[in-house]
Amino acid sequence: MSAHIQWIDRLHRGEVLSAGEFAELIDRRTPELSEYLFSLARRVSRARFGNQIFTRGLIEISSFCKNNCRYCGIRRGNPNAQRYRLSEEEILCCCDMGERLGYKTFVLQGGEDAFFTDGRLIPLIQEIKRRHPDCALTLSLGERSRESYQALFDAGADRYLLRHEAADPQLYRALHPPEMEWENRVRCLYDLKEIGYQVGAGFMVGAPGQTSRHLARDLCFLAELKPQMVGIGPFVPHHDTEYRDRPAGSVELTLFLLGLIRLMLPDVLLPATTALGTVCPDGRERGVLAGANVVMPNLSPAEVRKKYSLYDNKLSTGAEDAGHWSELQARMQAIGYELTSQRGDAPGYGR
């Protein structure tokens, strides 16, 4: 136990642990060790960001996807998936509503949908930034060419979320179709960083076939990449995938990893994800108490939220709805935090 506390203290001092040390921490974690970790993670988060929790208004623009990822409900090969695309005007209306509600960041997320070419996205991005010049715009639209990423950045996009999913190439290949290459996913992330985006990576916790060694490798990859944002959440099965009968990922392990990431990357923007809130009713509050400092309520039109079905039982109403700011604020205040309508850029970024 004392050696493991010393390793957590080393992370707190800015040292990087080895993959073997991360794996042992994961395997040997105890409730006492977790509480010690969370106390340090909260201290670090409050030192950087105070008690403020940044909000992002999520707009799920398309459930079409060219990929056939084995865990995902909107994968190409799912004949039961309900497909939709938001129009440009619908997306703009979501942003307009979001700013009225107090949101200063919009996240355009969707499957890898060939409909959304640069020719469609560039004028959309420019119009969003024209209408909302004080707001940040995040894209989460999958793998694209470096030229596309550059064009979207030049149009005004500020941030890009692209989970690396697995830092182990073999596990990555097991979760994805053959045409998706781990090397290309990594190339995309480094291209995004070099262009100047605030970049988000991340992974599922408890993905089929994942071990503590895989998670340790994920942590080492994050230490090397140094993204400005990290999104992790428990794996949640979808009934129309081959993993329908697999157990959901562990909330307790997800929280432990959030704490480690906060110590390892003190300035990172770290969401308490929708998946965490789906698996556990107070998952987002527990995520914040483990070091998270971002929540991402949903700005999508109510009639499409259930169609964007990445996994079963995804939150889509109540406090997950961006319109229910007061409910989510009350939940954060109950644990000593406050929602803020600031843009919430990573330290040193913003334009």
Tokens (6 digits) for 240: 């129309």
Q: Read off the pLDDT of residues 325-349 as tens digits, 9 standing for 90 and up.
A: 888 899 999 999 999 989 999 988 7
Radius of gyration of the chain (CA): 19
pLDDT classification of 319: cutoffs 50, 70, 90: very low
Distance from chain centroid for Cα 28: 26
Q: Which of 236, 323, 303 is nearest to 273 (CA)?
A: 236
Tokens (6 digits) for 20: 């073997």
What confidence score (pLDDT) does residue 348 get?
81
Q: Read off the pLDDT of residues 63-76 as tens digits, 9 standing for 90 and up.
A: 999 999 999 988 99
Q: Are strands 52-55 and 136-140 parallel, antiparallel or unpaired?
A: unpaired
Q: Read off the pLDDT of residues 205-217 as tens digits, 9 standing for 90 and up.
A: 999 999 999 999 9
pLDDT surpasses 70 at 351:
no
Q: Which of 325, 278, 269, 276 is nearest to 297 (CA)?
A: 325
